[in-house]
Structure 1
Amino acid sequence: MRLVILGGGESGIGTAILGKKKGYDVFVSDFGKIKENYKEVLIINEIAWEEEKHTEDLILNADLVMKSPGIPEKSPIVKKLIEKGIPVLSEIEFAAPYTNATIIGITGSNGKTTTTMLAYHLLKSAGLNVGLGGNIGKSFAWQVADNDYESYVLELSSFQLDGIVNFKPHIAIITNISPDHLDRYDYKYENYIDSKFRITMNQTEDDYLIYDADDEAIAEWFKTHTTKAKLIPFSLTKTFSEGAYIKNNKMEISINQEEFTMDTEHIALEGKHNMKNAMAATSVAKLMQIRKSTIRESLSNFQGVEHRLEKVLKIQNVQYINDSKATNVNATFFALDSMNTPTVWIVGGVDKGNDYNELMSLVREKVKAIICLGVDNKKIIDAFGNVVDMMVEVDNMNDAVRMAQRLTEKGDTVLLSPACASFDLFENYEDRGNQFKQAVKNL
């Protein structure tokens, strides 16, 4: 059986290692460059590879193809494979049959990384033999090849879910849905929503779907679709006999006739959106039979996720916050919503079809100055030019941070929450966040 892998990144290399272990004839092809450390792994494992090209003769003879999530369906080589009827899968679909572990799959437009990390923290702190993968950390396939975990917590993007056929998590979470990556979905929001709901398409009556009952897109989907999975909703405003909710500053969770309560003030994560993430992750812990005392302790000591509302430093009584992971408007909405001091907001980058109107009331209420950090800032300037007193354009992080310092006074906050992708000026959102933290430390 010939397994061809398109993309020599983390998921590609992990799949190559698992494929080789399972007796496939493996070939890795990357249209760009493959990182040196990944090349070494391929060479040590005697796996054939090519970079900066896709040689059709070596690809179109595949029995099975795993494509990395970053490669769109519309790319010429993928189109040819589909025309020939060669199955094109995601790493998750390829790896899942090779493990008997309990799989917890988490998707959503925002909050999925925090929810994934928190669910993993809850299970690991309870002593479970658990792996963390998917969109973060070491690739799922690689872990299936090298480790013997009894459970996995996987962060799953819509792109990864597009490539599944039979994959089903025992516990699925949809944190929320807001317009994102619409360029990959023919600019049709409903296509993107359907993509997220693929997480539950193969679930049975023995499985669970945990979801945000306050989310409009999710509610709309349920009007015309069903899933066999047992439903566990969570909400900030409604209460349930089966599900999770906040009432009188307490998180209350009721699952399979078992109750769990905890004062929200003892939960380490701050902000309304994080209460949702905490409810989702705690629902997982309850389903996995983790003791209440362990859950309480883990919720109170969780450190949060880097580049997500990360407090960097306080300088001259001004708090600097790195929220570089906010790559869409919805994520930035949560960030601005959790500000309770006058804010200098650093925003901008590659716009994925943003509608900034959603932020208008928060900007009016909280933002004293805007610093645009992007190659093309026209949309941001058009949206907020008349709303804030001060608007500045810069093209590098050092200037952005120095300018922010000039515009603040004691008690203010400087918030990097770009609402955009980072590829115009940075390698990725991590690079953008790290440059921000370094610039703040240099002040």
Structure 2
Amino acid sequence: MKRLVILGGGESGVGTALLGKEKGYEVFVSDKGKIKEKYKEVLIHNEIEWEDEKHTESKILNADVVMKSPGIPEKVALVKQIRAQGIQVVSEIEFASKFTNATIVGITGSNGKTTTASLTHHILKQELDVGLAGNIGDSFAKQILEKDYKNYVLEISSFQLDDIVSFKPNIAVITNITPDHLDRYEYQFENYIASKFRIAMNQTKDDYLIYDADDEVITNWLAKHPVQSKMLPFSLTKPIENGAYLENETIKITIDNDQIIMPTANLALEGKHNVKNAMAASTVAHLLKIRKQTIRESLENFQGVEHRLESVLKINKVQYINDSKATNVNATYFALESMDAPTIWIVGGEDKGNNYEELYPFVNEKVKAIICLGVDNEKLLKNFSSMVDVIVETQYMSEAVKIAYKIAKAGDNVLLSPACASFDLFENYEDRGRQFKEAVRSL
């Protein structure tokens, strides 16, 4: 009996444990932190051995295979020990994919992957049996165990790709690549780019890679590191023979001389970056033979993703917008770009080596006040204090929202778009977004 040790008792860890047990592995789950009650109950109910608030090496180093949670960095001593013993380390995506024959659409990128994955799933589910997993919703492993859909849309982070071995999506999507999580990649952008491109490393000529042809990081990398898969680029600026492009406010998608044309006027999501997300999702749908009419209708009625430029409330003609999912500078770039009114910007958190320069033009043009919400705001103050009249610091969401309320005039926007991770003051970006929404509702 093979021994499967799982590091991390969260959604992906517990899903893998259940699938592993069903497939005949001897399973042990170990978490250095506390395992949430709801997950403990599942483990106990399924008679899976577990421990939390510690790692017992003797029970871990005898594994045949280790599935580690994407949140655990390589530099942790225990991970180094596991590797030194030659034990295979895999991600949930790698482990689970061995137990399904489904068609897999894998979506990665620094930004837009949740929206693109949700939108792709929204279109496909109108006509196909399809699950949505990866970084989003119920774990991939658990869905394979309980439902095993014929198709999956997976939102995949670079951390999950770092531990794949033979995983390959039939259709891969790279939305864009901008510096993010560099703290996990020795502060080398090259390492992070290479990590994203692992999504295509096992692809063959029968698979597809959909990517942003306007993104120089991607096109430069592809020029030096060719892939096996068929390439379907998308672009807002130039005609594309095989792939998607924008012409006169119309999206044109061509695959093997079969073209779909869609007006962008009625897209549910606003902003240039969402035209790109729509192109990527529609290209996937076109490949999977979804009817043109279905694709059009789905793009028009898609509701968007929570914590991503989500309109919360209008109070005294001031619009409050929750973009808590903006955990890096590039995501905040899109948020500020789409603001069409004077904006009070709530920013800050755990900085991952951010360079704020690309935001300067927007801050000069659109931002009237900045509220820094982090444990350490020194970098923000240094970058922006000369650009705005008002810049204040706080460590409480409720206070940040009250300050914004006082400063705001009719017609203004109050935007939470932190450009940073949330772990210094919040549990995660969802917790940060919900606290913002609660604070706005209780104004």
TM-score range, shorter chain: over 0.9
Q: 2:286 aligns to what?
A: 286
- State the Cα deviation string for residues 412-439 of structure 1 (Å, max 9, x = none): 1111000011111111111110011111
- What displacement does 1:35 show? 0.8
1:21 corresponds to: 22
The aligned counterpart of 1:114 is 115
> Where does 1:38-77 land on structure 2 (aligned, <5 Å)?
38-77=39-78
**RMSD value, Cα:** 0.7
Mapping for residues 263-342 of structure 1, pairs under 5 Å: 263-342=263-342
Paired residues for 1:127-146 under 5 Å: 128-146=128-146
What TM-score does the superposition give when structure 1 sets the normalisation length? 0.99
Answer yes or no: is 1:381 the counterpart of 2:381. Answer: yes
Show structure 2 runs of 5+ residues with no match: none
Return the alpha-carbon distance in structure 1 between the equivalents of residues 332 and 148 of structure 2: 38
Provide the rounded CA distance (Å) in 1 between the counterparts of 2:197 and 2:263: 32
Deviations along 1:28-57, whole A, 9 cap, x unmatched? Answer: 111111111111111111111111111111
Residue 398 of structure 2 is aligned to residue 398 of structure 1: yes
Aligned partner of residue 209 in structure 1, secondary structure: strand
SS in 2 for 1:178: coil
- 2:89 and 2:231 map into 1 onto residues whose CA distance is 31
Distance in 2 between residues matched to 1:166 and 1:424, nearest whole Å: 36
SS of 2:125's equivalent in the other structure is helix
Provide, for residues 63-95 of structure 1, a one-character-per-residue CA deviation record: whole Å limited to 9, x for no partner. 111111111111111111111101011111111
Unmatched runs of 5 consecutive residues or more in structure 1: none
Instruction: In structure 1, give the amino acid aligned to 2:330.
Output: N
What letter corresponds to residue 22 of structure 1 in structure 2? Answer: K
CA drift of 1:302 comes to: 0.1
**3-state SS, counterpart of residue 98 of structure 2:** helix
- The structure 1 segments of at least 4 consecutive aligned residues displaced by more than 2 Å after TM superposition are none
Partner of 1:356: 356
TM-score of the aligned structures, taking structure 2 as reference length: 0.99
* Residues 203-259 of structure 1, C-alpha deviations (whole Å, 9 max, x = no match): 001100000111121012112101110001011111111111111111111112211
Q: SS of the residue aligned with 1:26?
A: strand
Q: 1:189 & 1:426 partners in 2: Cα distance?
A: 27
Q: Which amino acid aligns with 2:73?
A: P
**Cα distance in 2, alignment partners of residues 200 and 3 from structure 1:** 27
By how many angstroms is 1:383 displaced? Answer: 0.5
Query: Shift in Å at residue 157 of structure 1?
Result: 0.3
The answer to whether the aligner puts 1:191 opposite 2:198 as a matched pair is no
Identity %: 68
SS for the counterpart of 1:262 is strand
**Structure 1 CA distance, aligned partners of 2:181 and 2:148?**
34
1:211 aligns with 2:211: yes
Q: Distance in 2 between matches of 1:56 and 1:256?
A: 54
Deviations 1:308-352 (A, max 9, x none): 000001111111100000000000000000001111111111100
Are residue 92 (structure 1) and residue 93 (structure 2) matched? yes
2:30 counterpart letter in structure 1? S
Residue type of the partner of 1:149?
Y
3-state SS, counterpart of residue 123 of structure 2: helix
Could you tell me which amino acid in structure 2 is paired with residue 201 of structure 1? M
* CA distance, structure 2, for counterparts of residue 365 and residue 76 of structure 1: 47
- One-letter code of the match for 2:78? I
Q: Secondary structure at the match of 2:268?
A: coil
Structure 2 Cα separation of the partners of residues 32 and 181 of structure 1: 22
Q: Distance in 2 between matches of 1:258 and 1:345?
A: 45
Letter in 2 for 1:328: N
Match of 1:124 in 2: 125
What's the CA shift string for 1:251-276, capped at 9, x where partnerless? 11111221111111111010001111
Alignment partner of 1:211: what SS? strand
Match of 2:82, SS state, is helix
Query: Any idea what SS the aligned residue of 1:233 has?
Result: strand
